[in-house]
Amino acid sequence: MNPRILAISGPLKGSQFILGDADLKVGRGARNHVSLNDPLVSPKHCCLSFEYDRCLLWDCGSEHGTFVNEFSFPAKIVVHGDHIRVGRTVFVYLLQDDVDERLLSLTDTERNWCYGHHPPDRAGPYEATKATTLAALLRMNASINELRSAEEIQARILDFIFQVIPAHRVSILLAGDDEDHFISSTHRSAASPNGDALPIDETVASKVLRGGVSDYQEQVICCPMTT
């Protein structure tokens, strides 16, 4: 594995930065490992770290946000080929030595943002395209048939969710014949690859499972998944 980011737009276009043992800091300040002379970039904008064979990206409270595949995320595990936008610079996260050239091309939305005529002192609208969700769905469908265990399938679904939804934490609960009791659970946090357990309101989850209707709360969405 060779974790790195490659700039495909912006003032550092063509530059490559290796992820080592220390966090890779990105921002406008000169002390960052990746220093971007861009008014849309905060002095301390975001960081990347690589451990447990995964790359975690998190926003450092930047004014204009950090985007992955055209979605704004406070933190996210990124995978090979993901596009990371910081200001008017787009990086591609690369893990493999062999790189498909198509991964190194800007999307239409990225191109409009990076080379458009937005005021330099504020961020314009940056909306996710349907192609982003469709591409992630196709990648999941192409690989999920190869999986054999419930654990592998759940892990792939969690990866898909984090690719297309700006979620902080996700859990999948499996129920047996008794819908009031869950027989297993899988958890994932954008800020941690370890799968630590998350607090779950099983009363709400059971209600959603029985009714087959999603429950929307202030910071939580609970959705039924049936086969």
Residue 109 pLDDT:
82
Nearest-angstrom CA–CA distance, 225 and 227: 7
- DSSP one-letter string for 160-177: HHHHHS--SEEEEEEE-S
Residue 125 pLDDT:
44
pLDDT, the chain, mean: 80
Burial of 80 (0-12, 13-18, 19+ CB in 10 A): middle
Q: Which long-range contacts does 148-153 make (Cβ < 8 Å, 24+ apart)?
A: 150/174, 150/184, 151/186
Q: Give residue-wise pLDDT tens across range 71-105.
A: 888 888 888 899 999 999 999 999 988 888 989 99
Contacts with 114 (C-beta within 8 Å, 6 or more apart), sequence order = 9, 10, 85, 88, 89, 90, 106
Q: Give residue-wise pLDDT tens across range 129-178.
A: 555 566 666 666 666 666 677 777 777 777 777 766 667 778 888 877 76
130 by DSSP, 3-state: which? helix
Domains of the chain: 4-115 (2.60.200.20), 130-222 (no CATH)
Nearest-angstrom CA–CA distance, 186 and 173: 7
Residue 179 pLDDT:
64
Lowest mean pLDDT segment, chosen from 99-108, 184-193, 202-211: 184-193
Looking at the chain, how many residues does it have?
A: 227
> Residue 178 has what DSSP assignment?
S
46, 62 Cβ separation under 8 angstroms: yes
Residue 33 pLDDT:
96
Band the pLDDT of 214: cuts 50, 70, 90: confident
Report the percentage of the chain scoring pLDDT > 90: 28
171, 198 Cβ separation under 8 angstroms: yes
Residue 122 pLDDT:
44
Tokens representing 35? 């220093």
The model carries a pTM of 0.62
Residue 6 pLDDT:
97
Lowest mean pLDDT segment, chosen from 3-17, 21-35, 79-93, 200-214: 200-214
